[in-house]
Amino acid sequence: MALTVAFSYYYRYDVIMSIVGRFNSAGEAGGGGSVFSPRHLFFYLNAIFWQIGFIGSGLFIAGFCYMLRFRNFKSVFLLSWFIVPFIVATFTQLKFIEYTMSYVLALIFIAIYFLEKIKRINLMNNLILCWVIFNMCQYFREF
């Protein structure tokens, strides 16, 4: 079920043609070299910071560790939604940030899962506010 959700993004014809059309390009990781080089291995880890911001990444890492510690159906589903496409994308030669779109929502859900475990309402509200403000600044900086 997690694979179905994760790869639903790639089912569209235009996305598939975009991927196939890029096979002759160098990719955003610089092309060439082994997929086991640091540039290739850490490309999608760095992409997490680009996609959900610094605060969201911190919340994601905390939520990821929390889910690994306390396993239940929700955590297994969310972790598999993230881990399977992440590993597949990491060990491919051609890397583009768009290839991670299938699991970006899982990153956010894992961060939110951690936020809901915070008992102090003021701390939780402040973290949410900081995350939203930071991402809005990051979004408008791109223009």
Please report, as a single letter, which amino acid is at residue 97.
I
Selection from 11, 4, 22, 9 nearest residue 100 by Cα: 9
pLDDT digits (tens, 9 = 90+) for 42-100: 888 888 888 888 888 999 999 999 988 887 777 788 888 888 888 888 887 778 777 78
Rounded CA separation 32/43 (Å): 14
Delimit the domains of the chain by residue range.
2-6+34-141
For residues 90-115, give the mean pLDDT.
Answer: 83
Q: What percent of the chain has pLDDT over 70?
A: 76
The rounded Cα 28 to chain-centroid distance in angstroms is: 16
| Angle, vertex CA 45, rays to CA 24 and CA 23, nearest 5 | 10
pTM of this structure:
0.74
* Whether 79 contacts 6, CB under 8 Å: no
